[in-house]
Structure 1
Amino acid sequence: MEEPIPVLAAGDGFVLNRLLTEALHATGGGPSAWQVRELELPWPHVPFGPVGEVVEASGSEDVLIEALAGVRVCLTQMAPLTRRVLRACPDLELFAVSRGGPVNANLAAAAEHGVAVTFAPGRNAASTAEHTVGLMLAAMRRIPQAHAGVLAGRWDSAQFAYEATGLEIEGTTVGLVGAGAVGGRVAAALTALGARVLVADPYADPAALPAGVRLVELPELLASSGVLSLHARLTPETAGMIGAAELAALPPGAVLVNCARGGLLDYAALAGALREGRLFAAALDVYDEEPLPADHPLRGAPNLVLTPHLAGASRAVARRAARMVAAEADRWRRGKPLLHRANGGGS
């Protein structure tokens, strides 16, 4: 019988260690294939940040180095894989990151040390799509304002006044910028709710879009959309792609939703459009600065629904992320190719 493989489950308050361990034990090798030790990182109760040369990491190099002694496989979401950690942990062979991008790993240094790094693309696509539709409905129907009124002791029949009422998705033209894993799910949900859905995405396959969804160029999408929802990747080409001119191209009274990346949108221009009444509302989960500064232009702008970058946070996401990295570990154990490899190092 083969010796169990030493594994570090470096979980946190979202992707829990018990989820990582349970997912490992559910793989083909079963519990006997793995010798698991656990390290609990402080995120999200302590914000992530740069550690060494990597970004968006949690915990310290010293603590991780100690926990990785003799370990061949690390399953984590936030642990910092830095050049210093790699030098100090020669037994490490696989570093599996349970998030959509391994930004907490120095990929070049890992390759130099023969460590394979994998990640979990698409882990939160369903969660983000659902959150997008939820924010869209909240903004269009003015649900937060109604909720606040009831909590404050008001039962405001004036909300039935025509100008105070909200908008419906059914019959509305919704424009989606980007039709990847999230945008495609949003398109399907909105089509089921009776929206007319347009998509602007130079990489989209028209045959892969839900029935009835039409692929158009961005200018046509902007001119036609009562709701604009952003789902593009942030690249040099898409950075700042929705600015003052694009917001002005929307029909008067449009709604804007962004659960993708803060860098896609000019937030000062958005705040101005809301204050001037050119937009009906906006719903946002991502920002150009996070956390949102006290003097940010959005603060004080009307008709906003805001959440703190948590569209991808659900219990299902945490469980799915754990299963994805455990499956990669099992493929590595069996000598099979890794599905979501981020670098050229390791076996």
Structure 2
Amino acid sequence: MRVLCAGDEFVGNNLLADAVRAEVPAEPEFAELSLPWPVEPFGPVGGVHEASGTEDQVIEALAGAEVAVTQMAPFTKKVFAAAPGLKLVSVCRGGPVNVDLPAATEAGVAVTYAPGRNATAAAEFAIGMILAAMRRISTSSAELLGGTWRGDYYAYPNAGLELEGTTVGLVGYGAIGSRVAKVLVAFGSKVLVADPYAQREQIAADGAELVELEDLLRRCSVVSLHARLTDETRHLINGERLALLPEGAVLVNSARGGLLDYAPLPGLLKSGRLGALALDVYDVEPPPADWALRDAPNVIATPHLAGASRQTAERAARIVAAEVGRYARGEQLANVANPDVLR
């Protein structure tokens, strides 16, 4: 079996190949393609989103391959048309947004993905962002290193909030949001959840409460976003809904940039209507040089790092390799994004 490892600077070809070797009894024949992400940002390629590299690079590397394992390589209609021997693409991401699923199904190629691969890393990062925003950890550090001692942050009107006793809202309750909730409950927070697909009983068992989104926004001093980005959730948090937040609320987005309408944010921060903003994702990545939030107060901004732990990369490689092992043994695949191809 010939396997293409299309790795990058995060989930490297060595991780992918070693993980596949551990799952496949007979030593596969490997081909490799090294992609430049994350040193170079991902973007749309040939009709798919968030991909790295070019279609022609993938086509050349796929020659004779039956299986491909990747995180960012673009698998488009053009790629599938040029690789008639390809049977499986295993993507080590929470969703295969770099794959044209209808084209894969038409070509008879199963596409798998890796749900939960970065859930621990992203949940821990979100908690860190919440704490940093509530207690001005990042902003006061930057000011001190820049030569300004902000003793006035100890003044009562400027002092931060504790998690214990604070009502925190989570928009989305999947693998990441549910982990965040459990940590917040352990801190002593009252946790509200808005997610139309979540199970009320499970949320209650975790110590949280399921409510409607508008109710959550009105009641929470801190709101953290953890929903998937779909047509339904794009700009879910818009100007109208931001206006529902209590005065001085903290907003955190480490999920997807498209969940949030960024246009109202600079004005809300400058007026104090929004107390602090912590972002790891953006509507445009990286943000442009004239990005309005660069001059807004109380902003924490990190370069899409929530899932960037070594364990995430290792876990992702193991998950995709396990699918390759199932395929090699003729077993049912676990996480198929286009199940119609199996019928």
What TM bracket, shorter-length normalisation?
A: over 0.9
Report matched runs for 1:33-44 at 5 Å.
Answer: 33-44=27-38
Structure 2 Cα separation of the partners of residues 259 and 271 of structure 1: 18
Quote the offset at 1:239 in angstroms: 2.5
Structure 2 Cα separation of the partners of residues 218 and 83 of structure 1: 38
Structure 2 Cα separation of the partners of residues 73 and 337 of structure 1: 15
Q: Which moved more, 1:333-342 or 1:87-96?
A: 87-96
Q: 1:325 aligns with which of 320, 323, 329?
A: 320
Partner amino acid for 1:246?
A: R
Q: 2:266 aligns with which of 271, 277, 293?
A: 271
Structure 2 Cα separation of the partners of residues 54 and 242 of structure 1: 25
3-state SS of paired residue (2:243): helix
| Residue 41 (structure 2) aligns with | 47
3-state SS of paired residue (2:34): coil
Partner deviation per Cα, 1:77-119 (whole Å, 9 max, x = no partner):
1122222322222221111111122122222222222211111
The answer to whether residue 139 in structure 2 is matched with residue 145 in structure 1 is yes
Report matched runs for 1:235-274 at 5 Å.
Answer: 235-274=230-269
Structure 1 Cα separation of the partners of residues 73 and 105 of structure 2: 17
Partner deviation per Cα, 1:281-306 (whole Å, 9 max, x = no partner):
11111222222123333231111111
* CA distance 1:61–1:250, change in 2 (3 Å): closer
| Residue 340 (structure 1) aligns with | 335
| Residue 127 (structure 1) aligns with | 121
Q: Percent identity?
A: 59
Quote the offset at 1:183 in angstroms: 1.0
Q: 1:14 aligns with which of 10, 21, 29?
A: 10
Partner deviation per Cα, 1:118-141 (whole Å, 9 max, x = no partner):
111221122111111111111111
| Residue 163 (structure 1) aligns with | 157
Q: 2:311 aligns with which of 310, 316, 329?
A: 316
Structure 2 Cα separation of the partners of residues 6 and 71 of structure 1: 5
* CA distance 1:90–1:346, change in 2 (3 Å): farther
* CA distance 1:147–1:333, change in 2 (3 Å): same
| Residue 77 (structure 1) aligns with | 71
Quote the offset at 1:154 in angstroms: 4.8
Q: Which runs of 4+ in 1 moved over 6 A?
A: none
Quote the offset at 1:317 in angstroms: 1.1
Structure 1 Cα separation of the partners of residues 298 and 121 of structure 2: 24
| Residue 222 (structure 2) aligns with | 227
Quote the offset at 1:153 in angstroms: 4.3
* CA distance 1:299–1:330, change in 2 (3 Å): same
* CA distance 1:231–1:55, change in 2 (3 Å): closer
Partner amino acid for 1:85?
A: V
Structure 1 Cα separation of the partners of residues 200 and 314 of structure 2: 32
3-state SS of paired residue (2:168): strand
Partner deviation per Cα, 1:199-256 (whole Å, 9 max, x = no partner):
1222211221244311122232122111111122233333323223322222212111
| Residue 26 (structure 1) aligns with | 22
| Residue 184 (structure 2) aligns with | 190
Structure 1: runs of 5 or more not aligned:
none
Structure 1 Cα separation of the partners of residues 187 and 118 of structure 2: 22
Structure 1 Cα separation of the partners of residues 244 and 57 of structure 2: 52
Quote the offset at 1:155 in angstroms: 4.8
Count of matched residue pairs: 341
Partner deviation per Cα, 1:307-343 (whole Å, 9 max, x = no partner):
1222122111111111111000000111111111122
Q: 1:297 aligns with which of 292, 297, 308?
A: 292
Structure 2 Cα separation of the partners of residues 178 and 51 of structure 1: 28
Structure 2 Cα separation of the partners of residues 212 and 55 of structure 1: 36
| Residue 202 (structure 2) aligns with | 208
3-state SS of paired residue (1:185): helix
* CA distance 1:107–1:244, change in 2 (3 Å): closer
Partner amino acid for 1:22?
A: D
Partner amino acid for 2:58?
A: L
Partner amino acid for 1:49?
A: G
Structure 2 Cα separation of the partners of residues 212 and 53 of structure 1: 42
* CA distance 1:319–1:163, change in 2 (3 Å): same
Q: 1:65 aligns with which of 59, 68, 72?
A: 59
3-state SS of paired residue (1:104): coil
3-state SS of paired residue (2:169): strand
Structure 2 Cα separation of the partners of residues 25 and 274 of structure 1: 52
